[in-house]
Chains A and B, each alone.
Chain A
Amino acid sequence: MHNEKAAVELEDVSLIFGGDHPADEAVLAVHDINLTIPTGQFVAVVGPSGCGKTTILNMLAGLIPATKGSVRRYGSEITGPSDDIGYMLARSALSPWRTARKNVELGMEIQGVPKNERLTKSKELLRRLRLEDFADSFPSQLSQGMNQRVAIARTLALNPDLWLMDEPFGALDAQTRLTVQAEFIELWESEGKTVIFVTHDLEEAVLLADRVIVMTARPGRIKSDTIIDLPRPRVLDELRFDEKFKEAEHRIWRELRDEIV
């Protein structure tokens, strides 16, 4: 039954912030969003700052309820957080008092996974993200890129079925970003889970995703929805110079430009 329905479905979703007090200004953050995402699709969302991208992820993560409309996963309404959704915030938000390994194990601790199982899983993830030598370092002892990779590992530790990622590489320098992007896409291509990936970087969106959604300025609505028909597995540092890739990026850029300027 699950496979028949969409992994994620937003129907006429609007969200209003504030307005408790009659004299308060109520902010319409997102307006009438309709979006259906099939299982296993990698969807990138781009749009101007403040258009409601993070707000949409928060609704999908079950942290805030939609003011209007319906947010569903496999046909059932989202009512609260669920451990089969992995949410990676824009800031790495690692616990400074936990080592890299203990940060990765946070979700498993919360879910009561036994110790040796936690250890096996965290070791495997840290190895895949090339951090095995830093398992016992605290976040203050790691570089920004390393911390970001720890956050990726933490997000994936509970084997979530839906990955929500809010500008996961936004804080990285250009060089590190290339490495982490490549590591991430390799990881994803081996798992094939549904991903909603918010980014400010259009090149990143087109390089990684199957589908790019462009949002309008606030109140956020869907402006365009484009399928990126590039083959997988993707070799990012070659794809970057591919004609088809450039053409797709250019086409979407024209949509986005009107919203930004």
Chain B
Amino acid sequence: MKSSDEFPREADMGGGEVTAAASPISQEEIRAMLPSQSIWQYRIRKIDIPVQLGRIALVLAIWWIWWSETIWNGWEAISIFGIQPFPNVNQVFRASPGGAWDYISKYLPESLFWSDCWVTVKEAMVGFLIASVLGIIAGLALGSFHRMSKIFGPFIIAINAMPKIAFLPLILVVYGVGEMSKVVLVVSISFFIVQVPTQAAVALVNPDLLMVSRTMGASNIQLFRKVTLPAISPAIIGGLRLAAIISIQGAIFGEIFASKRGLGQRLITSANMLDYDGLFAMVFVLALIALLFNGLIGRFEKYFLRWQTDQQSSQVISL
């Protein structure tokens, strides 16, 4: 306090006495500083009510716009270079929420509906798993061995560029109209979706991390297990996430083209019978299955990538 005599100053200038020294503070004391909250308050905050309300509002708005008579009136008049972007759609072709619900509630108790669901999910899952395993192995091999990627690279790029759908007639001839042909179609599409990012990620592994392990005497196998594999896991999981969704689409597409069973079969049957309520009910069920797949991979991702910062992992969309 002596200094304040020597250097008189305004009270609010700051400086002067030391008020705190670094000292350990217990977990309990730190907790006590936080606003108190029960486990339920925590859970409600995690649910994030604005997000949930936003989702519900979005669904309602889309449905309302879809079903509204007045909103669509007059838009058919718009014409750009002779093309009508908003043609008049007959009410009959617009599924109503009630109609779609009627369809679902009519078929939900039926075991045939569930076995159709299972057929589609099975084709997508088996195809997805095979594509993932092959895609990861191929991506790792091509990313790790220069010569291999030079030999196979041009062919893989060429095959990837071909529309897989063009092979469907051939696949049907070889594997028949059963489930196997859909699995093969799914594999041919999803393989590349996993292989491409895996291979790219191997090339982008931080060289410093490899160097550190090498100076500690790591063998090539150890470098792979301790550095490359964990470093590329975000890229692999990103590829898997995309491949899961594409696999369902592939299975459905194959079923629409030619099949005996499956949701795609139901979808095309409804469409052919101009049963648009049924059609939209199917689309809705497919959307739910896709979300389920996504959620499963999200779980997997959260566990494997828990070292990422929140910012990085906020891409994971969970329900």
Using CB atoms and an 8 Å cutoff, list the residues of chain A in contact with chain B.
Answer: 61-63, 81-83, 85-87, 89, 91, 93, 95-99, 106-107, 109-111, 138, 140, 154, 158
Contacts and interface: CB of A to CB of B under 8 A. Distances in A.
B218 interface: yes
Nearest to B216: A107
A194 B24 CA distance: 36
B226 interface: yes
Contacts of A63: 211, 214-215
Nearest to B311: A140
B227 A81 contact: no
A166 B208 CA distance: 13
18 contacts: A61-B215, A63-B211, A63-B215, A81-B215, A83-B216, A83-B217, A85-B215, A91-B208, A95-B230, A95-B231, A96-B307, A96-B308, A97-B230, A97-B231, A107-B217, A109-B226, A110-B216, A110-B217
Interface of B: 206, 208-209, 211-218, 222, 226-227, 230-231, 233, 307-309
Nearest to A96: B307
Contact of B209 (A61, A86, A95, A107): A95
B216 A93 contact: no
A82 B216 CA distance: 7
Contacts of B215: 61-63, 81, 85-87
B303 to A, nearest CB: 12
Contact of A110 (B206, B213, B231): B213
Contact of B212 (A62, A89, A97, A138): A89
A62 B227 CA distance: 20
Nearest to B212: A93
Closest 4 CB pairs of A and B: A93-B208, A107-B216, A97-B307, A83-B217
Contact of A93 (B209, B217, B218, B233): B209
Contacts of A97: 230-231, 233, 307
B316 to A, nearest CB: 16
Residue from the set B216, B227, B307 with the largest chain A CB neighbour count within 10 Å: B216
* Chain A facing B: main interface SS: loop
Tell which of A91, A96, A109 has the most Cβ of chain B within 10 Å.
A96
Contacts of A98: 307
Given A63-B215, A93-B211, 13 more contacts: A93-B206, A93-B208, A93-B212, A96-B308, A97-B233, A98-B307, A106-B213, A106-B226, A107-B216, A109-B226, A110-B216, A140-B308, A154-B212
B212 A106 contact: yes
A64 to B, nearest CB: 11
Contacts of A110: 213, 216-218, 222, 226
A190 to B, nearest CB: 23
B217 A140 contact: no
B217 to A, nearest CB: 4
B82 to A, nearest CB: 56
Given A63-B211, A110-B222, A140-B309, A95 B216 contact: no
